[in-house]
Amino acid sequence: MNNRVFVRNAKIAGLKMCQYYNKQLCTRYVSVMPANLYGTNDKFDLKNSHILPALIRKMHEAKVKESPTAEI
């Protein structure tokens, strides 16, 4: 069995825990579960990429240009 099964189960357990806490304890917990943020096959172009890879690219370009700001 690979780690993906354990990771998936841990994510589901976190979601369910928040749901049950909210129901039983009248809390408003939210479970944030980012998708795969970036990797070797991710797109870094600014029109079709995910948000984080696009931000990484913009920050990198600003640093290369020695710009004090980056447009977001």
pLDDT at 21 (0 to 100): 96
> Rounded distance, CA 18 to CA 39, Å?
29
Cα-based angle 5, 38, 49 (whole degrees, multiple of 5): 125
Is the pLDDT confidence value at 49 over 90?
no
At 67 the three-state DSSP class reads coil
Indicate yes or no: pTM above 0.75.
no
52 versus 14: the higher-pLDDT residue is 14
Average pLDDT of the chain is: 84
pLDDT exceeding 70 applies to what percent of the chain? 86
Q: How confident is the model at residue 26 (pLDDT cuts 50, 70, 90)?
A: very high
**Residue 22 one-letter amino acid:** N
